[in-house]
Homo-oligomer: A and B are copies of this chain.
Amino acid sequence: MLDYSKYYSNLAKRIKASEIREILAILKTKRDVISFAGGIPDPTLFPKQELVEIARDVIEQYGDDALQYSETKGVREVREAVCKFMYAKKGFKCDLEDVIITTGSQSALDIIARTLLDPGDVVITENPSYLAAIGAFKNAGGRLIGVDIDDFGMKTHVLEEILRSMSEVERSKVKFIYTIPVAQNPAGVSLSSERKKHLLEIASKYDLLILEDDPYSYIVFEEGVDKTPLKALDREGRVIYISTISKILAPGLRIGWIISLNDLTRKIELVKQYVDLHSPTFTQYITAEAIKRGVIDKVISRAIPLYKAKRDLMLKAMKEHFPEYTWYSKPVGGLFIFAYVYKEGFDAGKLLPLAIEKYKVAYVPGGSFHVDGRGANSMRINFSYSTYEQIIEGIKRLATLIKEN
């Protein structure tokens, strides 16, 4: 066999298989393990009958276009539907020329990273933050600086202090702040109204862009949470907004979108052109119809009580079974609880094989969500996918694992 390593790019050389990913990949074959590892929706929410009808209607009514190549930015009618959806759900107006339909929000993250980052450039994120966003930024050569979070999201005074104490040279390398302001992944916390304003002020003061990732704000369980996107508060054109149907319709359609800004939209479009030509025309049309027919609204209205019930049950089980030396987030929405175990030497990553083999429970070790090597004692726990019975039993098992190790 040839030694292929000599052909690899620096990116390919640098990128390593994640041991954790490997371990979690085998879960599918282990039916007796309760997995809180995925970030995946409850499939009972998929509006199958409606999607059968929509798929049929799309092919019959728009087939010549819906099955054909289409514009790199996205089908015009789909961008229009997304604009209306954004206005209805998020309260901001957008010009359809600033919308770019992407192949899921992962592709949005990748394309934006490539449009903005050169090797050595800096991205500031919440710490912990979404691991595949961190991956996309690193792939583009980005360096990550993390800002701690609490129950009200990113500690913006810490952010300001980080920026203030940077050398001018280092500061000039900061391109944007990446944030999931509402029902954050992995912690489920939301940025308070005051901090939103503060964050925008900081971006203005230090002349930075903000990349706002907003997949979860449709599914918020608590009254009184400020769901206003930064995009709606942005007066200076600093916020690039991304969202997706993955949590409110079906991730397998792979449709997300960017609401970008003027010239930047054009650049993102040009980069996307050679990345995938355009996102799937067929599932774009399906998405637009699901918006227009109120199917997404229906999924959302079913998802909120379902996920709230699951979260409540999981928190209750944790309260009952988790030892005192643990801290876990009380997510206001989304799909995840994030937990820290304050016990000497507790390493969630090292324990994962044992968790699966002996305790028959799985989670994502929290280290990979941290950008600074911390978080070995943390884990992300998904509550959206498992059944009620699995939640109760799985949390018991997890508690036993924590106590015994």
Contacts and interface: CB of A to CB of B under 8 A. Distances in A.
Interface in A1-24: 1-2, 4-5, 7-12, 15-17
B55 A275 contact: no
Contacts of A196: none
Interface string A99-127: 00001101101100011111001000000
Copies of the protein in its oligomer: 2
A136 to B, nearest CB: 5
Interface stretch (A152-160, A260-268, A343-351, A397-405): A260-268
Given A11-B271, A132-B277, A282-B253, A69 B40 contact: yes
A356 interface: no
Nearest to A285: B252
A377 interface: no
B9 A115 contact: yes
Contacts of A103: 103, 107, 254, 276, 279-280
B59 A270 contact: no
A171 to B, nearest CB: 13
Nearest to A137: B274
Nearest to A253: B282
A46 interface: yes
A102 B300 CA distance: 30
Interface residues of A, number: 83
The A interface, classified by DSSP as helix, strand, loop or mixed, is: helix
A11 to B, nearest CB: 6
A74 to B, nearest CB: 12
B267 A280 contact: no
Contacts of A15: 267, 270-271
A63 interface: yes
Interface centre among A1, A15, A56, A238 (most CB of B within 10 A): A15
A116 B5 CA distance: 9
Interface string A272-292: 011111111111000000000
A250 interface: yes
A235 B251 CA distance: 40
A118 B5 contact: no
A274 B106 contact: yes
Contacts of A7: 116, 175-176, 209, 264
Interface centre among A16, A70, A282 (most CB of B within 10 A): A282
The 3 A-B pairs at the shortest CB distance, nearest first, are namely A252-B281, A67-B250, A55-B55
Interface of A: 1-2, 4-5, 7-12, 15-17, 38-41, 43, 46, 48, 51-52, 55-56, 59-60, 63-70, 103-104, 106-107, 109-110, 114-118, 121, 132, 135-136, 138-140, 175-176, 209, 236-238, 246, 250-254, 261-264, 266-267, 270-271, 273-283
29 contacts: A1-B262, A2-B237, A2-B261, A8-B115, A8-B116, A9-B114, A9-B115, A11-B114, A11-B271, A12-B115, A43-B64, A46-B64, A46-B67, A48-B60, A48-B67, A51-B59, A52-B59, A55-B56, A67-B251, A68-B252, A103-B103, A103-B279, A107-B275, A114-B139, A136-B274, A139-B275, A254-B279, A276-B276, A283-B283
